[in-house]
A and B are shown apart, each in its own frame.
Chain A
Amino acid sequence: MEKVMIKGEKIVISRMNDPSQQFVFELSYPRINKYLYDIDPFTFMMDEKGKILEDEIIFYNNPFNDNDAVNYKEVYKSEKVYKSFEININKMPKEVQAISLVMSVYCKNRNKDNKPLFVEFDLEVINKTQRSTLFSSVDNFDVMRYKTFVLGEIYKYRNSWKYNAVKQEMDDELMKVLRKMYQIKIFK
């Protein structure tokens, strides 16, 4: 039975010399047309000082980086939306110490309609080499209220890469959250 991550839980996803270093983080959530909302996942690759290169912020408008370490894909089906990052740790630039997975929540009627709208979204993390599910998680939050959801972070710890299920919903916009949480600096 696959592992279901809870808030704050940490798990080793790979040792430094493991041959299997490719992972797919796939998010899915229902598509409800009545309220036009959407959830956009971003990955921010940062060094130990929070330095982030603009070109290495991966999302719908920049779906991959130069060294192909992270690839983003999205599929909109009639009932459900699937968005995934394929992360190849072997190709990660050496200076990258952590990868933050954050979601920006767009809601067209946020300022007009204050009724809560809870959306459940699933995360499934697959070890691509072993073709097995490493872990999954289910979250549920009010897209009318929250503008950002910090899903988790992949980070280097001694000779491992670990995943921390942060699962934190925030009222602030994504960039403000990142500046507060990680003191990031964006460089061209």
Chain B
Amino acid sequence: MNRKECLDLMMEYFKPESAINYLKNPDFELKSHIFYYRDIFKDIEEIKILRISSKNSSDNIVFDVYYVSQEFDGLFHGYFRIKPETEMAEKLFENISKVATDLGQYFYYVYKNSEILKIYLISGNLENALAHCKNKDFQQNFVEIKKATQLEIAKFSTQSLKTILLRRELLEKYITNFIKMNSKCSDRVKMFLINLLSSKYAGHICLIPKRAEIKNFIQVTTEQVFFNDNLSIPIYGLLDYAVNYNCVLFVKLDFDFKGGEAIGKGND
């Protein structure tokens, strides 16, 4: 299913309602991009703009879309934050990003990454979607990661840990340098960086340098984001777990230094 077909199908099952008086007939196309909202809300820090609910009220999928007016050079000029309001909505967005700069692109991304939404849009039946959903439960993996990370931290004295970790208050600088010095980041990586900068996760991640002797970490290249070379661990599920269980995750930014003009690149 391509993006347009997916969004058309979404409109059959979901009803977006504006939370702003003069924002009429919201959609996932023209009014999906952040540029549409930028000028309207430039002086507001954060505002709820949409409530999206399942047309079949018994399915009880309800989530809100907020516009956040922050800017970050090279990454975003405002972004959307999705907040699930019901348990069913929580399940729909489990293990996936809840921030985006284009709602149309975002809902296609949700479709591709949420087994529940995929089945729901095809069968039109939430019970069916939940019954057939093959979403793996990663809770055990997250518990093990938390334990392994805590054991690693315990190996260091406070002083030596301080010399290993990069400075938390300089997170924005580290991300700016990553964007400017490297080749262009993939949309997936950009989405992850927006998440890192959001207030929700900022207190639960800690950047470490490339050669830090820490084995459990999220690696960020310009192409991909993964935990310990394991692409199957859902990064956003892991970040949410870190927030809910108040733990820290280490993140390594992998520089390729291919920024600037595309000349003089080496291949071997």
Contacts and interface: CB of A to CB of B under 8 A. Distances in A.
Interface string A165-188: 000000011111111000111111
25 contacts: A38-B173, A50-B264, A51-B266, A54-B255, A57-B257, A61-B166, A61-B210, A62-B210, A62-B211, A63-B211, A64-B211, A104-B177, A106-B177, A108-B173, A173-B180, A173-B181, A174-B180, A174-B260, A175-B181, A175-B260, A176-B260, A178-B260, A186-B258, A186-B265, A188-B266
Contacts of B177: 40, 104, 106
Interface of A: 38, 40, 50-52, 54, 57, 60-64, 76, 104, 106, 108, 111, 172-179, 183-188
Given A61-B210, A63-B211, A111-B73, A186 B266 contact: yes
A53 B177 CA distance: 19
A173 B264 contact: no
Contact of B166 (A60, A108, A184, A188): A60
Contacts of A179: 260-261, 263-264
Contact of A54 (B166, B174, B257, B260): B257
A46 to B, nearest CB: 11
B187 interface: no
A76 B163 CA distance: 11
Contacts, number: 74
Given A51-B266, A62-B211, A106-B176, A173 B260 contact: yes
Interface of B: 73, 166-167, 170, 172-174, 176-177, 180-181, 209-211, 253, 255-261, 263-266, 268
Contacts of B258: 175, 186
Given A38-B173, A61-B253, A64-B211, 13 more contacts: A54-B257, A60-B166, A62-B210, A106-B176, A173-B259, A173-B260, A174-B260, A175-B258, A175-B260, A176-B259, A178-B260, A186-B265, A188-B266
A187 B174 CA distance: 22
B38 to A, nearest CB: 15
A174 B181 CA distance: 7
Contacts of A108: 172-173
Contacts of A177: 260
Given A38-B170, A186-B266, A62 B260 contact: no
B68 to A, nearest CB: 18
